[in-house]
Each structure stands twice: as C-alpha cells, then as structure tokens.
Amino acid sequence: MKKTLAMLLALVMVLSMAACGGSSTTTNTTTATTTDNNNSASNTTQSSTNTASTPASTEAADGGNGSDVNAAELVSPAFIDPLTQWSAYDELIAQIKSETDFTRRTELMHQAEDILMATNCVIPIYYYNDIYMQKDYVDGIYSNPFATKFFMFSKMNNGSDTLRLQLASEPDYLDPALNSSVDGACLAANSFSGLYTYDASGKTVPACATGYETSADGLTYTVTLRDGLKWSDGSDLTAADFEYAWKRASADETAADYAYMFSGFEGYPNDLAVTALDDTTLQFTLIAPCAYMEDLMAFPTFYPVKQSAVESYADWQTSPGGWCTEAGFVSNGAYVCTGWNHAVSMTYEKNPYWFDADKVTVEKLEYMLSADDTAIFAAYNAGNLDFCDTVPTDEIANLLANNNSEFHIVDELGTYYVAFNCKSAIFNGKTPEQATLMRQAFSLLIDRDYICDNIGQTGQVAANSFIPLGMADGNGGVFKSDPKDGYFDAYGINDAYDETVTLARSLLTTAGYEFDDNGMLSDSTPIQLTYITNPTSGHIAIAESIQQDLAVVGIDLSIEQQDWNVFLEERKAGNFDFAREGWIADFNDPINMLEMWTTVSGNNDCQFGR
C-alpha cells in the first residue's frame, strides 16, 4: 500500500504541474456502455484507487482553475455524473434484468458496481453479521441469510405459551407492499404468508403454493396454490388475492419502495402480466429467466393483501398503508395483530386459519417497541424478554469473554455503509468530478479496522465494496470472495497513515479546498456537514468514530440523532448531507444490491438521477 501511495503522490504532482501550466479542461463522460468489461472485481474495480492520486504536499495540487483539470483526470474511468447522467446506470440495470446470457449478466453487474462506487456516495464500512440474545429455554427461532427472523415454530421449554421479544421501535409500515425495513420484514413474515418461504436451513420452500411449472423458455410460471387457504377473518384466500396484491405493489400510484422488484415482469409497472386462472392457479410472465424467482415469491412485497380490507380505509388511494396502522387488520400468516400500544408494544396471537396452524405451539407474541438498547438489554436481563435483537456496544466484550450461550452471532449477506446525498448543498459550486473526489477523501480517512474491532466486535470484515463477500454471481460462482479485492485498501489508514491522510488532503485540494501550515482546512474553505443516524449505541459510536477521523484534516461533522421513522423518511426524501445506512440483501444475487440505486427506486437514498 505504501508503494502504491508513493506512486499516486508522484502522479498527482505531475498532473498538478500540468494544470498550473494552463492545460485545457477535459470532462469524463464515460457511460454504462463504455465502462471496463473485465470479469473480475479485482480488475474492474481498481479504477477508483488506481486513478486517484496524491501530491507530496498540500501545495502540490492546484486549488485554482486548474483543479477542474485535475479532478477530471483523477476520477475513475467508470465515473458518470450521478445527477445528470444517471440514466446510463438505469439503462444498464434494465439490460441486466433482461440479459439471458448469465456470463454476460455477471460482467454487466460488475460494470454497474463500478459506476456506483465511482460516485463515492456509497461508502462501505463493513460486511454485516447479526447478533441477538435468546434465553436458553427458547428453541425453534431461525433466521435466513437476509436477517428475516421466523418465530412461528418457536418452542418455549419453560411452560409458557407466550414469547416476549424485541425487534425494533415503532414500525414504519406493516403493509408488506410498503415496508422497506428489516424489522418490518420480520413482522410481515410472521403475520403474512407468501407463495414461498424459508426453512430453518435458509432454503426456499412452498408456503401458500404447492409448487409451480415453467414454460420451455423459462418465462411463464404457473403456480398451484394450496386448497382451502383462508384470511385471518376466516374468508377464502385465492389466487385472485395474489394477482391484486402484486399489481398493487407494482403500480406507480402505490409508490412502493420495492416496486422495482417487479421490473422483470412483462407489463411493469402498471399492467403487470399476472393472472389468476382460477382459485388455485396463478400465472405470470417475465421478460427474462430469473434464477431467484422463489426468493421473490418469498419476499414480503410479494405477499397477498385482501382488497376489501385495503380499500375499506377511507383514504386508501392517497394513504395506501393506512388500512393496517391499528391492531385487528386482516392478514394470512401464523399470527394476527390483536393489540398495538403505539411506540410501546404490540401483541400478536396465533391465527387458527393459517395453513400450518397445527405446528404453532406459541400462542402469543408480545413485542417490546424500543430503540433504547440499554433499556432493552436491562429488560432481557431482568427476565422480561425472551429474545432481543440488539445488544449495547459496551456489553459485547463481556458476552464474548464469558462465552455466554445466550449471545448469538449469525452470518448475513449485507453491508453497513454511510452515504452522501449527491444533491447536498455541501457540493454546491463543485464540478461532479470535484464532488466525487471530496467524497473519496472522506472515505479514505475512515478507520474501518477500529470500527470493526472496537465497536462491532463480532468478527465484522472491513468493506471496500458495496456488494458483500460471498454473494453468488448468478452464474454458479461467487461475485466476490477475497476481501482484498475491491475499490480501495480498507486498511490504508492503518497501514500507511501519513500517506493516506496526505492523499485525502490532496483530493480535497483538487476539489478547491485550501489547507493551513498544520494541514488543517483553511478558514476560507471550511467543510461543515451533518451526519444523521438513529439512536442506538453502536450507530452513535460509529458516527463519533467517523467524526474524529474526519477532524484530522479539519472537517467539521455534526451528528444528529433521529427517531427511527423520522430517520427513514428523512433519508428517503433526501433531507440530509451524510447518513448512516445499511443494506441486507433480500435475496442472494447482486442485482438486489444494484437495482435499488435506479432513479425511480424508493430505496435510492443518495438521490441519484434526481
């Protein structure tokens, strides 16, 4: 790494001298169709590091007019303007979704990640694992690799028929079409049932369906439903309910964050090719074969909702999730919500009409709604909770040291990251190239090793790409298996501190900032911004760590803690500069990590293309 940084130092010095000599401005207009076509992540993703450069001192890079030239020279070859050129990314995702050559599809997904990472708006911190506490008298709870937890087959060996648990604070949405949070997916998975679900080994298995057949070209699916399916109010549930729910979730008027998951269907978004042929037969048609169709049929956005229940809400057309904002709403899963004391607790009781009700032995789920991990941990230790989905950061070391059998660590497919709003006022007056170099400088200064070892503490791996380690590539292989492959050296700030900080300063200088003799940002060109996060001890500790890392060069980062639902809405609306983020995959294919960044996606918090 030190040798590489020394070479980069020399490169920037040469470019800076050329810029001072009055070189003409060049603009990088690389589009999705002209990005590097190499197959491997290590080949296609190094542009962000190898084309970035570092002057030997903060005076080496030209901070005046010549800095435009430097910025254009230093960005990744995959870079496109995330505001005005993002349609190229949208077109690439559409191409991936329709590509029938799976080898070519994998290549295109590497190109898409190159473009995403070249913006430097998405800054990966570490690859996720999941931690939770579970009493030793509880058995049968399981989780899939996408952090959805299933409680319907839990067993209480202490004689109780009630499971007391904590997942998160007040849920944003319980409507499965509108939910986009992990805790909301857990609630949905235990109160609704899709055509497919996951078993304890993480494999997809039939739920409301018994199976399906596909046409010879792999595009048309004919799914057979179980006989005698019921809603929680005892009324019949048929294939027509799935047709209604899927068309509703896909339609523009519903504005579901996950509507894009139907983009592989013919007729998306407003004329979806899904039809109930009869009460127990559902047929739908895709635009290209889909290797993860069972995962989609198991995902909450594809769960059924009852039309009469949805449309009984007075303002259902303008508030599509309003029908399930109080207890008693109709569902079709193992449990039904029977009590809801907002911001305090929820109660779910066994649904006798669920098709597998005879296997459910826990009669009641009592949820504590809280984001205060200290209070949650105290309630668990006092015997008031049987399961909790969070642990205070300062308790993890003791739990590990004592080999506490109730403390569980499970693998997940996902990435903890921080993100910039590409429309933030902090980039006003900067060219797109200067803005991305600013963000790259921020990324270089973050000590991921400290965050993993001292805050995460459970074996997290420092991340240098958005798509996580171990994710399948959709073509029988693994998209990325070596943590050294990626877009930058995740340990550069640890292994080559002085050189890395110098590189960050030079990138900021190239973006038009000035530094004083102490290497701190000049009073004439300050950087002040706000970082938003929800208030749990781990997230706050990470925010404070990043705050200290950025202060090394004089960046003034303020931390704003927001309640969970406010936090979700502010990110979605783009009302932030810099934010805590995390994405756990919905299924094991990179497209899930890439299609969320299209212009129209409800999960595009960075505001690309807007």
Residue 425, C-beta contacts closer than 8 angstroms, at least 6 positions apart: 577
Mean pLDDT of the chain: 90
* Assigned CATH for 136-371: 3.40.190.10
Q: How confident is the model at residue 88 (pLDDT cuts 50, 70, 90)?
A: very high
% residues pLDDT > 90 (the chain)? 87
Is the pLDDT confidence value at 281 over 50?
yes
pLDDT digits (tens, 9 = 90+) for 242-274: 999 999 999 999 999 999 999 999 999 999 999
Q: Averaged over 343-348, what is the pLDDT? A: 97
Domain extent listing, the chain: 2-127+412-597, 136-371
Strand bridging mode 556-561 / 149-150: unpaired
Q: What pLDDT, on a 0 to 100 scale, did the predictor assign at position 424?
A: 98
Quote the pLDDT of residue 411: 87
Per-residue pLDDT tens for 546-575? 999 999 999 999 999 999 999 999 999 999
40 pLDDT more than 80: no
> pLDDT tens for residues 480-536?
999 988 999 999 999 999 999 999 999 999 999 999 999 999 999 999 999 999 999
Taking alpha carbons only, the member of 546, 419, 434, 558 closest to residue 493 is 546
Position with higher pLDDT, 134 vs 66? 134
Question: Over 60: is that where the pLDDT of 65 sits?
Answer: no
pLDDT score for 62: 40
User: What value does the mean pLDDT take over residues 429-437?
Assistant: 97
Share above pLDDT 70 across residues of the chain, in percent, rounded to a whole number: 89
CA 247 to chain centre: 24
Contact 430, 82 (CB under 8 A): no
**Measured distance CA(61)–CA(59) in Å, rounded:** 6
pLDDT at 137: 98
Backbone region of residue 379 per phi and psi (left: phi > 0; alpha: psi in -120 to 50; beta: other values):
alpha
For range 291-295, the mean pLDDT: 95
pLDDT band at 58; cut points 50, 70, 90: very low
Contact criterion met (CB below 8 Å) for 257 and 249: no
From the list 297, 300, 295, the residue with the least C-alpha distance to 284 is: 297
R_g (Cα) of the chain, nearest Å:
25
Between the CA of residue 579 and those of 21, 82, 539, what are the distances in Å? 39, 17, 11
Least confident of 41-45, 132-136, 395-399, 558-562: 41-45
CATH, range 2-127+412-597: 3.10.105.10
pLDDT at position 33, please? Answer: 34
Asked whether residue 324 carries a pLDDT value surpassing 70, the answer given is yes
What lies within 8 Å, CB to CB, of 214 at 6+ separation is 220, 221, 222
Q: What is the mean pLDDT of residues 386-396?
A: 96
